[in-house]
Amino acid sequence: MKRLIVLLVLVFTAISARADSAAILVFGDSISAGYGLADVETGWVSLLRTKLHHEGYGYRVINASVSGETTAGGLARLPRALALHHPQLVILELGGNDGLRALPIEAMRANLAKMVSLSRAAGASVLLLGMRIPPNYGPEYTEQFRSTYMSLGKELKVPVLPFLLNDIALNPALMQADGVHPNVLGQPRLLANVWPVLEPLLTK
């Protein structure tokens, strides 16, 4: 009986410690959801979870990414996610689907700004992951889309990774056949792009 009680105490302590540990909320679209991967555990978010553990960080990583998500959809979902997970840090990876659908840049920018504001109001810091799109809708739209992330980061004083798929998007060996999503070989490269801007925001 004593051994059972001790075991239960240890389990409860472990669960409590996990619940009390700081959370990182990855809030993105198919790039972060692991679209097209045979095993989502090979996705960059899962690789991040493993790297944090190996580096001695105690964060929980919650992946609330949804394939096909736009900034408007993300804005609608974010309050519940913040209330549920109480993250210390939100990694915001949205906007790609807005660009692919040629949605208004002003609306995308406003949605991202509101998500930054909501995250901060909930006590979380924010890392913004930027995207780029093919020039299908003309150079003006393409440039406005590209510059939105950096200008928003400067305005709101939010750290920004200018392009999540840097050194990946134009390498067929790292991309799926659709030319949009990184394959399993591209996932470590995604993490390698994110880590230098993420690490300064972490605490042990």
Give the tens place of pLDDT for each residue, 104-151: 999 999 999 999 999 999 999 999 999 999 999 999 999 999 999 999
Name residue 25's beta-bridge partners. Answer: 62, 90
Query: Looking at the domain assignment, is residue 145 inside a domain?
Result: yes
Q: What is the rounded radius of gyration, in angstroms, for the C-alpha atoms of the chain?
A: 18
Please state whether beta strands 125-129 and 60-63 pair in parallel, antiparallel, or not at all (unpaired): unpaired
Q: Which residues have a catalytic role annotated?
A: 30, 178, 181
Residue 76 is part of a domain; what is its CATH number?
A: 3.40.50.1110
Which of 16-20, 88-92, 132-136 has maximum average pLDDT? 88-92
What is the number of residues in the chain? 204
Q: How far apart are CA 93 and CA 26, in angstroms?
A: 7
pLDDT at 21: 83
pLDDT at 12: 38
Other CB atoms within 10 A of residue 19 CB: 10
What is the pTM for the complete model shown?
A: 0.90
Structural domain harbouring 129: 22-201
Q: In this predicted model, what pLDDT tens digit does every residue of 157-195 receive, in sequence order?
A: 999 999 999 999 999 999 999 999 999 999 999 999 999
The total of structural domains in the chain comes to: 1
Query: Looking at the domain assignment, is residue 2 inside a domain?
Result: no
pLDDT at 1: 55
